Structure 1
């Protein structure tokens, strides 16, 4: 009888482990590094280099129409909270995306160089996700929004001063 209980307990534990793992996103669902990164292709068993094609494709008309949109949202240090100025930028993006329902947008999260590479990749992802959530909350189809984190990898400004840091703490929307 004790053996039967142990077998039943083991089966329940194994089932819970398999079921629990099934709900986690696959590693390939989140892009967290630039194309042609100068970092090693494989660190701790994770391939950080994105080498596939474009994450979003749009018609030339959509690309041309989006070219004049404000497309950068800036963040405070160590924050992924969207400011009122950022919301104003995103509201224009919302109007554009609603007028162009077939358009797809890529939101790329960036950070300044302070912090570890891993931390900055995670912060860039949080910034991109926050922008995606805001767009979705305003009625944009979440399926048309891709996100990617580049962390500190592609700075908008070089230098170790507050102005350069401010310009690098951003999320960029592109078509």
Structure 2
């Protein structure tokens, strides 16, 4: 009889451990989906060696191109939550298209920016769409797409600090640099 008690006691312990381990597996193995997103930013640069990538986007132009670009407005603005090129932006971009077409080896960097409203991830994507819209416009004007680089800073580099509509409007932009 003592063998039966010890056998059933052992079975009860094993059954209890099985139930407990199943409960642990279910509660830890079936994590719920996060309601927020996370953006992982890699550190700039790769250590070591000559010519190591520093994370910077570089365009290298002749002094004449840079001087000519300094005489053209370098910023185009966008409406709230939009990457659509306005008539005013098209006028500015036409001047850049003319400069770039007359200097076929010249390169331009277009940096997209947003105001601070919206998540960081959303604003990075919107800044990218704005820079790409400006690139697409220039390409449609005959500028080689290989000479146009785009980057998005999202809300990270505001032109104007503040939480007013005027500040927001000045931060919704794409900047062209040579």
Deviation at 1:130, TM superposition (A): 0.5
Alpha carbon RMSD of aligned pairs, Å?
1.6
Which residue, 140, 161, 177 being the options, matches 1:174? 177
Give the structure 2 partner of residue 92 of structure 1: 95
Q: Which runs of 5+ in 2 are unaligned?
A: 1-37, 46-53
TM-score with structure 1 setting the length: 0.72
Residue 97 of structure 2 contacts residue 143 of structure 2 at CA under 8 Å; is this kept in 1? yes
Give the structure 1 partner of residue 34 of structure 2: none
Per-residue CA deviation, residues 108-164 of structure 1 (Å, 9 max, x unaligned), is 000000011110000000000011001001100000000000000110111000000
Give the structure 2 partner of residue 59 of structure 1: 62
Q: Which runs of 5+ in 1 are unaligned?
A: 1-42
Matches of 1:166 and 1:44, distance apart in 2: 25
TM-score with structure 2 setting the length: 0.71
1:144-159 mapped onto 2 (5 Å cutoff):
144-159=147-162
Matches of 2:118 and 2:39, distance apart in 1: 19
Deviation at 1:45, TM superposition (A): 5.3
Q: Look up the SS of the partner of 1:172 in the other structure.
A: strand
Give the structure 1 partner of residue 83 of structure 2: 80
